[in-house]
Amino acid sequence: MTTQTRATHLTRPDGRIVAWSECGSSQGAPVLWCHGAPGSRLDAAPGGPFAESYAAAGIRVIAWDRPGYGRSTPHPGRSLADLADDAEAVADALGLGTFALAGYSGGGPVALTTAHRLGDRVAAVGVLAGIAPPHLAQDADLAEHDLFALAESDPVALRGGLAQLAAGLREGTAATARRMLADGLTDADLEVAADPVFAAMLHATLAESASQDLAGYAEDIDCLRAPWTPTLRNVRQRVHLIHGTTDRIVPVGHSRAIAAALPHSELTEVEGGHLSVLTHLPEMITAMLS
């Protein structure tokens, strides 16, 4: 088993680049990671808080940049189905037959859509603090509800505002991240964010997510605003869901709604908020693969 991490990329038929990184055991059970919004492939950083535990458990985690994040080319007008196609292309490039999927926050819908579209090729699914379809839970209770509203009323202004946020994340990551997340963090979140290893991973992934003016964030918001409820009814894998009961960024009602709509699911509610729930990631992946 190793803890080496490498980053590489592929070129899609339309010329777009899709980049990824991986960590854990190079020969371990593969898990394709769908990062949050914003986020990046650096969630699978070599010195990240979970890399050693993945290696010890025989798990290989591959995190890919969605279009417009990190090193992946933007893809304006993309859908969740398009993202599932990109995820499949990454799996193909790595020679993966079957694999597991895990998603966090805005990456949850990507994981669920990919599971639906790829069927038996996806052996297990897990979602941490996932966002529900707009007709199952209210956008208004999301911490970023103002961005969702702006995407509908003035998409040009949304992209301008995100470009300014991106500049702050690139130039002063820690301070900008504190301002961006401050109102949404619980005491449990603040405790986790104070851990130097976790903070380094968070700041690295946020700075990398901003490398293209957060074009991917704007594209994600458009995807998440579109109806995708029917996808949930057609996810045949058992889905492991974990959500913090005091999450102020994506309230726990979102995972409750997702669980109720899925044919086969298991929801675990834990104490804590949107960042602290990430400490349950190794536990969730172990449960998925058992």
pLDDT tens-digit map of 44-99:
988 889 999 999 999 999 999 999 999 999 999 999 999 999 999 999 999 999 99
Q: What is the pLDDT of residues 10-37, one digit of tens each?
A: 999 999 999 999 999 999 999 999 999 9
Residue 223, φ and ψ in degrees, nearest 5: -60, -45
For residues 171-199, give the mean pLDDT. Answer: 93
Instruction: State the total domains in the chain.
Output: 1
Is the residue at 42 inside a domain?
yes
Say what the pLDDT of residue 4 is. 45
pLDDT at position 224 over 50: yes
pLDDT at 6 over 90: no
Q: Is residue 1 part of a domain?
A: no
Model pLDDT for residues 136-179, shown as the tens digit of each residue: 987 778 999 999 999 999 999 999 999 999 999 999 999 999 99
What pLDDT, on the 0 to 100 scale, is given for residue 1? 38
d(CA 116, CA 83): 12
In a domain? residue 210:
yes
Q: Which domain holds residue 182?
A: 6-289
Q: What is the largest CA-CA distance in the chain?
A: 51
pLDDT digits (tens, 9 = 90+) for 106-116: 999 999 999 99
Task: Evaluate if residue 183 carries a pLDDT over 90.
Answer: no
Q: Is the peptide bond before 38 cis (omega within 30 degrees of 0)?
A: yes
In whole angstroms, how far apart are CA 214 and each of 4, 176, 209, 229?
28, 14, 6, 26
Q: What is the CATH number of the domain that holds 259?
A: 3.40.50.1820
pLDDT tens profile 198-218: 999 999 999 999 999 999 999
Any domain includes 249: yes
Q: Read off the pTM.
A: 0.95
pLDDT range class, residue 276, cuts 50, 70, 90: very high
Provide the pLDDT confidence category of residue 249 given band limits of 50, 70 and 90. Answer: very high
Query: Taking 90 as the threshold, does the pLDDT of residue 41 lie above it?
Result: yes
59-64 vs 122-128, strand pairing mode = unpaired
pLDDT band of residue 5 (cuts 50, 70, 90) is very low
